[in-house]
A and B are shown apart, each in its own frame.
Chain A
Amino acid sequence: MRVSDIGSSLFFMAMGAFLAWQSVALNIGTPRVPGPGFFPFCLGLILVGISLIIFFQGMKRPSHAPEKGLKRSRVLIALGAIFAFALALEHVGYLVSTFLLIWLLLKLMVKKAWWFAPGVACLVSLVSYLLFKVWLKVLLPGGWLGF
């Protein structure tokens, strides 16, 4: 029994069932006059069917040896940083939020002298600011401080 298969198949089964149910509310119509819900309704049901197969396949497959030595926390922090960046960008401005993002990512990945991460982050944010905003004229938000 492979837990990852069973878990993911249950997730997709729920997703298919939910979307098929939502499609009914959208008006499925008839095959003669298919409504907006027709196509997603069929797809939802197909997804439920396929998930069932994955589920049974997962019952048969041997379980997986867990990978060792992985730093899962880094992945979570990096993902959190993306979402935080999206929320902060228009308030704090491009330069500050990029500086913080790169600093955090560098800190996650390497151990170097204390000045390395903030130094590189400073360089990256300044150069990218000049490149994108000044040279390529990409509209990047300024935030409270104006840059």
Chain B
Amino acid sequence: MEIINNVLYGFSVSLAPANLFSCFVGVLLGTLVGVLPGLGTVATISLLLPITFKMSPVSSVIMLAGIYYGAQYGGSTTSILVNIPGESTSVVTCLDGYQMARQGRAGAALGMAAFGSFIAGTLSVIGIMLLAPVLGKLAVKFDAPDYAGLFILGLTLVAYLASGSKIKALAMAVVGLLLGTIGLDPMKGSPRFSFGTLTLLNGIELPPIAMGLFGISEVLMNLEKKLEEREVFKTSLRGLFPSRKDWRASLGPIGRGTATGFFLGILPGVGAIVPTFLSYAIEKRISKTPDRFGKGAIEGVAGPESANNAASGGTLIPLLSLGIPPNTNMALLMGALMIHGLRPGPLLLQEHPDVFWGIITSMYTGNVMLLILNLPLIPLWVRVLKVPYYILFPLIFLFCIIGIYSVNNNPMDIVVMGIFGAAGYLMRKFEYEPAPLVLAFVLGEKLEEVVRQALIYSRGDFSIFFRRPIAASFLIIAILLLLWSVYSALFKKTPAPEESRTA
């Protein structure tokens, strides 16, 4: 049984004290940022990216991944208790979770959210174990043109599934690719777009871009608003274990939510938000008493909470097996791996099985920790919620600055981060999404490499991209999506401004 050996090997990596500790730190921090509205996982992961430079590659990715799935646990806590989603993935949980809290069933809602997340997290880890190696083996047969097609399709999908304007998301992807060309040419080593400055000659690095676009700009957006006071719902937290009746009602939603989340999470650009909405819709549709939804139905908590956790597992598959990050969090994880000299992709499994299986099994240990941690710590999270914004925001600013300075001890990095902070602020104002930019930036260098390799190989014949069946099918899908985006941008009636989705 190869798979069992692999899993045991993985546990031998992820249960090593250093890795266990970084997993613990990751899930704890993740829950914390999940609880705190206004501080997202992307900002936190970019904040911690510099710190992981000094850690081993496995420990750093285990910690960063822990933040990502840990936040899905934390986000539900605020949705249920305060009716404010700590993460965008637990928006739906507010609908029924908060109503349950108002009826004095906060404990059951929180407990079911945690148990549902645990079950979904566990099942999705099993899914990754089965699926990622298979995909990875397929992808070993890929050549330069196939990769070019895959990367282009990945970027197109991310732009296509953007919540706002698809065409603007495409523009951001191109800008991200262009930003990646600054610095030394990867194949010939000649400087590009450095304009005589040393800072640009070395190229722009991922941390200042990510921290500027997500951390600094988030604070700037909040600075200009009037600060609101949050009111924590006062309720008894007794009875965190859901009753037998609750379990009977929830097992179906948990199973369906897990499947929805996991398989949608694999697709680039979908992320963990869409599955939560879909899961809620499914449960409401098949329920015998749909009018209970929105008034405290436990199915409306169990389904979506399982979906977001399963999705956060599913998103690891394309990253680990194909080297394509399906969302911004995964792009940052990919950045962390690359900084340590590892190339996520089909070869990762062969060259660094410790990293591959270590990360996957750490998600299982992480889920166990989250379940044990979360139930007793809920009262603590409620108190964390009372930390006022005017203390929180200056601290985020400071952490960004120290974090970025400590990478190279170069104050110019702070300036670059500030510029991207301003850019991120303007992008939000002008309705451009930062996510495609970061994704394209991470993929850019590799994409350029494979495109140029393919062209050298084919002696300048562009038809090489369409003569290989794999490359051709990727590219044709990408082109169809592109044409559709352009068509709908120019000729379709523009929908009403998506005010409600910009949270």
Chain A residues at the B interface, C-beta cutoff of 8 Å? 4-5, 7-8, 12, 15-16, 19, 22-23, 26, 30-40, 43-44, 46-47, 50-51, 53-54, 56-57, 60-62, 64, 69-72, 74-75, 78-79, 82-83, 85-87, 89-90, 98, 101-102, 105-106, 108-110, 120, 124, 128, 132, 138-141
Contact indicator A75/B223 (Cβ below 8 Å): yes
CB of A122, distance to nearest CB on chain B (Å): 13
Contact indicator A124/B402 (Cβ below 8 Å): no
Closest to B195 in A: A22
Given contacts A50-B170, A53-B486, whether A36 and B192 have CB atoms under 8 Å apart is yes
Contact indicator B171/A51 (Cβ below 8 Å): yes
Closest to A69 in B: B226
Partner of B460, one of A30, A87, A141: A30
B278 at the interface (CB under 8 A from A): no
Given contacts A34-B455, A50-B167, A90-B411, whether A56 and B490 have CB atoms under 8 Å apart is yes
Closest to A8 in B: B430
CB of B358, distance to nearest CB on chain A (Å): 25
Q: What is the bound-complex CA distance between A57 and B415, given in angstroms?
A: 34
Kindly list chain A residues whose C-beta atoms are within 8 Å of the C-beta of B220: 75, 78-79
Chain B residues at the A interface, C-beta cutoff of 8 Å? 165, 167-168, 170-171, 174-175, 177-178, 181, 185, 187-188, 190, 192-193, 216, 219-220, 223-227, 389-391, 393-395, 397-398, 401-402, 405-406, 409, 411-412, 414-415, 417-418, 421-422, 425, 429-432, 448, 451-452, 455-456, 459-462, 486, 489-490, 494, 497
Contact indicator B459/A32 (Cβ below 8 Å): yes
Kindly list chain A residues whose C-beta atoms are within 8 Å of the C-beta of B395: 124
Closest to B452 in A: A34
Q: What is the bound-complex CA distance between A87 and B497, given in angstroms?
A: 40
Kindly list chain A residues whose C-beta atoms are within 8 Å of the C-beta of B390: 106, 109-110
Contact indicator B405/A57 (Cβ below 8 Å): no
The 9 closest A-B pairs by CB, nearest first: A32-B460, A31-B460, A86-B414, A36-B185, A82-B418, A105-B394, A109-B390, A39-B448, A110-B390
Given contacts A50-B170, A132-B402, whether A108 and B193 have CB atoms under 8 Å apart is no
Closest to B397 in A: A105
A-B contact pairs, 21 of them (CB 8 A): A19-B178, A22-B193, A36-B187, A39-B181, A39-B452, A43-B174, A54-B167, A54-B171, A54-B489, A57-B489, A60-B494, A61-B494, A71-B224, A72-B224, A79-B220, A86-B412, A101-B397, A109-B389, A109-B393, A124-B398, A140-B402
Closest to B431 in A: A4
Q: What is the bound-complex CA distance between A51 and B146, given in angstroms?
A: 28
User: How would you classify the secondary structure of chain A's contact residues: helix, strand, loop or mixed?
Assistant: helix
Q: What is the bound-complex CA distance between A97 and B489, given in angstroms?
A: 48
Q: What is the bound-complex CA distance between A99 and B402, given in angstroms?
A: 13
Q: What is the bound-complex CA distance between A53 and B185, given in angstroms?
A: 30
Kindly list chain A residues whose C-beta atoms are within 8 Å of the C-beta of B429: 4
Contact indicator A78/B398 (Cβ below 8 Å): no
Partner of B414, one of A30, A39, A62, A85: A85
Kindly list chain A residues whose C-beta atoms are within 8 Å of the C-beta of B409: 139, 141
Kindly list chain B residues whose C-beta atoms are within 8 Å of the C-beta of A128: 398, 402
Contact indicator B417/A82 (Cβ below 8 Å): yes
Contact indicator B178/A47 (Cβ below 8 Å): yes
Contact indicator B448/A75 (Cβ below 8 Å): no
Q: What is the bound-complex CA distance between A117 and B207, given in angstroms?
A: 30
Which of A26, A78, A128 is the most central at the interface, judged by chain B CB atoms within 10 Å of its CB? A78
CB of B466, distance to nearest CB on chain A (Å): 14
Contact indicator A26/B192 (Cβ below 8 Å): yes
Contact indicator B402/A38 (Cβ below 8 Å): no
Contact indicator B489/A82 (Cβ below 8 Å): no
CB of A67, distance to nearest CB on chain B (Å): 9
Closest to B411 in A: A86
Contact indicator B451/A102 (Cβ below 8 Å): no
Closest to B418 in A: A82
Q: What is the bound-complex CA distance between A60 and B401, given in angstroms?
A: 41
Contact indicator A74/B224 (Cβ below 8 Å): yes
